[in-house]
Amino acid sequence: MAAIAISGLVKTYGKQNAVDNLTANITKGRITGFLGPNGAGKSTTLRCLVGLSAPTSGTALIYDKPYRDLDNPLSKVGTVLDSRGFHSALTGKQNLRVVAAAAGIPDSRVDEVLEMVELKDAAGKRMKIYSLGMKQRLALAGAILGDPEILILDEPANGLDPAGIAWLRKFLRRLAEGGRTILVSSHQLAEMQNTVDDVIIINKGKLIASGSMKEVIGDGSLEDAFLALTGGEL
Amino acid sequence: MGALLKSEWRKLIYARAHWGLLIGAILVAGLGTAVSPVILDNPDSGFGLGLEQTQSVDAVYANAISGYFFAIIIGIMLMSGEFRHGTAVATFLTAPKRGTVLATKLAIAAIGGMLVMVIATAAGLTAGWIALSFFPDAASPTNEVFINTLLAAVVSGAILGIVGVALGTLVRNQMLAITGALIYLFVIDPILLALAPDAGKYLPVGLITAMLALDIDAPEFGIDTSAYLPPLTATLVLLGYGAVFATLAIATSLRRDIE
């Protein structure tokens, strides 16, 4: 069963198609890597999927519904789009309490997720002093606040140091073990090869490959397959 | 809706900048009211009014409303702050029905603007009372001035908060929205009021002044309150502004992509 179904998605800015007739399915309970060179249309696709951008045409559905029609969406889908999204003058805890209140989630859950992302000690500090890694962890905490079945993560490893990437790998594996559906975009190809079950590769807004990791890379590496499919752009 | 109200209320009270605006409004209202008796008591001021006249003392107390522009800034910051800090993403991911989010934000901005105005105006009235106690020959104010000033604070605070949210939706750049609002309120509106009083009396500053129901005729300053709308009519027109701007905010936020 497809947890996420993208069908004929087109998003146009002026005369340029950022996403060009993209069709792809994300299978429930699997980790899917969403790959493509810079400017390929990955973030635009994810923004259309969660209702922040309106598709020019086509559909992007979660459990057969547009995101905005989901009941209490935070309990179905957790999203990390970038490390922004939080008020720099508020503490990490205050930022999450704002989100929790809107979703009807008790404040005790805020303390739980802060502990899960190992930010408990920094919870009372203002976001303006957070490092990029800490902001990414807070964004992940926000994504799991509603204990969702689906996670949509756009470049969650961006700006993380090796220790942060190792932490993220363990964190995602722990979430995946719970049977969650995870759609993750990243440039960390070696990391993705070891983490994801399925792969979707797009270039210039168009789908160029999709399937299980084995189907897409054969006996080679993800990086080799990616470079061959995208014409060497990374 | 209740959950969203709680979330928006937290945004209002968690941000230190909003508390700074409250302090600013108290200072402006307090100082503006406290220095008025000194200016009016000066025979060279040109107002042609003295503190021994009731209308002059009423004008002192009416200055307690002078922090009204802070209400519009609160509304702007509540909305454009979402785009400045990128929190609009989290807001609309949590509550993707944008009309509901906007309606909640308008309600909280109205409450926030009203609270700021009531607290600042009360501080201004107190400052005026203290300042006037240093002028033993000052006349007693009318009872109506306190009621009218507080009523004007409640209504203008709520409506300017709503207008602020609408401006923050239309002009997502926070500094541009605040600067534009201040230039309008302090430069364009007063000029229109002085040059074309027939049209100017329908503009926000003229309407807020009309709600105070003052009786002042100082032609050398371009002020003749008898030309203003009756207080109730002014209140209704100001409410109309609130409704138009609220509709604009909802209509525009529903269409645009969130970056």
Minimal C-alpha gap between B253 and chain A (Å): 11
- Average pLDDT of the residues in B127-141: 93
Residue B183 has pLDDT above 80, yes or no: yes
B195 confidence band (pLDDT: 50, 70, 90): confident
Polymer length of chain A: 234
Provide φ and ψ at A8, rounded to 5°. Answer: 55, 35
Produce one character per residue of B236-259: b if its CB has 16 or more CB atoms within 10 Å, e if not: ebbeebbeebbeebbeebeeeebe
**Of the partner residues B7, B92, B97, the one whose CB lies closest to the CB of residue A52:** B92
Spatial distance between the Cα atoms of A66 and A77, rounded to a whole number of angstroms: 12
Compute the average pLDDT of residues B132-144: 91
What is the pLDDT, as a whole number, of residue B221?
52
pLDDT, tens digit (0-9, with 9 covering 90-100), for B57-70? 998 999 999 999 99
Of all residues in chain A, the percent with pLDDT exceeding 90 is 70
Structure token digits, residue B195: 């040059």
Is residue A34 scored above 90 in pLDDT?
yes
Per-residue pLDDT at A233: 52
CB spacing of B258 vs A104 below 8 angstroms: no
Would you say residue A181 has pLDDT above 90?
yes
**Mean pLDDT, residues B76-97 taken together:** 92
Enter the tokens of residue A93. Answer: 């805890």
The span from the CA of B22 to the CA of B159, in Å, is 17
Write out the two tokens for A53. Answer: 């951008």
Q: Are B205 and B185 in contact (CB under 8 A)?
A: yes
Give the C-alpha separation, A62 to A6, whole Å.
Answer: 9
pLDDT for B255 beyond 80: no
Specify the pLDDT at position B49: 67
Partner residue facing B257 (CB), from A54, A81, A103: A54
Closest CA to A98 of B168, B101, B64: B101
Lowest mean pLDDT, pick from A46-55, B60-69, B130-139, B207-216: B207-216
Q: According to the model, what pLDDT value does residue A194 have?
A: 84
| For B87, nearest residue in chain A (alpha carbons) | A85
What is the DSSP code (8-state) at residue B173? -
pLDDT at site A11: 96
B37-51 mean pLDDT: 73
Q: Confidence band (pLDDT; 50, 70, 90) for B130? A: very high
Q: What is the mean pLDDT of residues B193-214?
A: 82
**Given pLDDT bands bounded at 50, 70 and 90, which one contains residue A189?**
confident
pLDDT of residue A129: 93
- To the nearest whole percent, how much of chain A has pLDDT over 70? 97
For A70-129, the pLDDT digits (tens) are 999 999 999 999 756 799 999 999 999 999 999 999 999 999 999 999 999 999 999 999
Instruction: For strands A57-62 and A31-35, give the pairing.
Output: unpaired
What is the pLDDT, as a whole number, of residue A185?
94
How near does any CA of chain A get to the CA of B61, in Å?
36
B253 against A65, higher pLDDT: A65
Say if the Cβ atoms of B14 and A94 lie within 8 Å: yes
Is the confidence at residue B176, as pLDDT, over 70?
yes
Give the pLDDT confidence score for residue B222 in this predicted structure. 55
Chain B positions touching A104 (Cβ under 8 A) are: 3
For an interface test with B, give the residue of A46, A90, A105, A136 to mutate (most B CBs within 10 A): A90
pLDDT in the model for residue B48 = 59
Mean predicted confidence (pLDDT) in B169-196? 89
Contacts B7 to A, Cβ<8 Å: 98-99, 101-102
Give contacts of A 60-119 with B, CB under 8 A. Answer: 67-68, 70, 73-74, 79, 81-82, 84-90, 94-95, 97-99, 101-104
Q: What is the pLDDT of residues A192-215, one digit of tens each?
A: 888 899 999 999 999 999 999 999
Q: Return the biggest CA–CA distance within chain B.
A: 62
Kindly tell me if the per-residue pLDDT of A62 is higher than 80: yes
Residue B19 confidence class, pLDDT cut points 50, 70, 90: very high
User: pLDDT-derived band of residue B45, with 50, 70 and 90 as boundaries?
Assistant: low
Q: What is the mean pLDDT of residues A143-166?
A: 89
Q: Which residue of A has its CA nearest to B259?
A: A52
Query: Does pLDDT of B47 surpass 70?
Result: no
Which tokens in the block code for residue B80?
A: 């454009």
CB-based contact, B1 to chain A, within 8 Å: no
Residue B131 one-letter amino acid:
A
User: Which pLDDT score, from 0 to 100, does residue B218 have?
Assistant: 58
Domains of chain B: which residue ranges? 2-253
Give the pLDDT score at B126: 97
* pLDDT given at position B51: 85
Cα(B3)–Cα(A217) distance, rounded to whole angstroms? 47
Examine the pLDDT at B137 and tell me if it is beyond 70: yes
CB-defined contacts A:B, below 8 A:
85
Nearest CA in chain A to B84: A87
Report the distance separating Cα B182 and Cα B249, nearest Å. 19
Predicted pLDDT at B196:
84
With 60 as the cut, is the pLDDT of residue B248 above it?
yes
Query: In this model, does residue B175 exceed pLDDT 70?
Result: yes
Q: How confident is the model at residue A188 (pLDDT cuts 50, 70, 90)?
A: confident
